[in-house]
Amino acid sequence: MKPMGGFIRAAAVALLAVAPVLSLVPPASAAVRLAAVPAGFCRSPAHPALAARVARAIDAARHGRVSAISVRVDDPRKGLQCWLHGARPFDSASAVKVTILAALLRRALVQHRYLTDTEAAEATAMITRSDNDAASELWDELGRGYIRHFLHLAGMRQTVLGLDGYWGLTQITAHDEMVLLRLLLHRNPVLDLPSRRYALRLMAQVIASQRWGVPAGAPARLTAHLKNGWLPSITHGWYVHSIGCFTGRHGGYSIVILTEDNPTFSYGIATIGAVARAINRDLDR
């Protein structure tokens, strides 16, 4: 299996086809685990009142939801960061496709070449339409060894790649996904400016039906660069994730929201949307 999840290719396609209606019941302990929220999980030395407001907004948005959730927010302009269960691991589903893309761009960079026409077509399909076959082709082409090398270069030390072709079972954390988004937004020794612009351009072209998640409540003047992932699980209901960053006037910030124990796919989208709207609303003030 190479598409997302731990099923054979045909089964994965079937699951995707029924994604909006399939319901998996989360463990009864999910709501209990959510009660433990660290105090002061948002901080900004320059804007402490803003940090407190964002933390309260996130907490209010997730109140009553059974979803287990991990959140990271980074707004360098305001010196604001939020860490909510940022080291908790989740099955990645399609969120790992941004990592695959970044590793592909890094390899082309060190080989002093552009992407081939085939690589460019597969990268475009993988990000803009979340095409699983394209992701599998690039995963196989790069190899787990090279992708692991990229993770080392990027400093994504909490990410554990899925075995063999099971890229959708890669273990990710909100912390490492934020590390990845920073690589795309800011100057660094891993990806040059053309590589970063290429990745962000694809993430800004995600098809309309998949543009849910972290863009919820974001002002229209900003460009949202995002990638979402979703995957049903027997033990954790639905994994539903959204990662993204925003550019434009007063942009330059990033949001990562990872969830599991969602009873349905749409429930996970609603949880992420509520949290994202709270964050975007306060950051846009």
Predicted local distance difference test score (pLDDT) of residue 272: 98
Please give the backbone phi and psi of residue 270, each rounded to the nearest 5 degrees, phi first: -65, -40
How many C-beta atoms surround the C-beta of residue 112 within 10 A?
A: 6
**pLDDT value at residue 170:** 98
Phi then psi for residue 91, to 5 deg, are -60, 135
pLDDT for residue 284 = 80
In whole angstroms, give the CA distance from residue 184 to residue 175. Answer: 15
220 CB contacts (<8 Å, ≥6 apart)? none
CA distance 229 to 262: 13
Please state whether the predicted TM-score (pTM) of the whole model is above 0.85: yes
Packing angle of the helix pair 132-154, 117-128 (nearest 10 deg)? 90
List the chain domain ranges. 9-283
The span from the CA of 83 to the CA of 106, in Å, is 28
pLDDT at res. 39: 53
Fold adopted by 9-283: Beta-lactamase (3.40.710)
Whole-angstrom distance, CA of residue 124 vs CA of residue 130? 9
Output the pLDDT for position 40. 64
Mean pLDDT by 10 residues, the chain (285 residues): 35 36 38 46 95 96 96 96 97 98 98 98 98 98 98 98 96 98 97 98 98 96 97 96 93 94 98 98 86
Rounded to an integer, what distance in angstroms lies between the CA atom of residue 150 and that of residue 6? 24
Q: Write the single-letter amino acid at 216.
A: A
Backbone angles phi, psi at 128, to 5 degrees: -75, -30
Predicted confidence at residue 168, as pLDDT, reads: 98
> 177: helix, coil or strand?
helix
Task: Read off the tokens for 169.
Answer: 């079972």
Using left for φ > 0, alpha for ψ between -120 and 50, and beta otherwise, residue 219 falls in beta
Tokens of 59: 């907490």
Torsion-angle region of 250 (φ positive above 0: left; ψ -120 to 50: alpha; else: beta)? left
CA angle 26, 167, 224 (to 5 degrees): 80
Phi, psi values for residue 114, rounded to 5°: -85, 165
Looking at residue 33, what is its pLDDT? 42
Strand partners of residue 257: 71, 242
163 DSSP assignment: S
Cβ-Cβ contacts under 8 Å for 19 (sequence gap 6 or more): 230, 232, 265
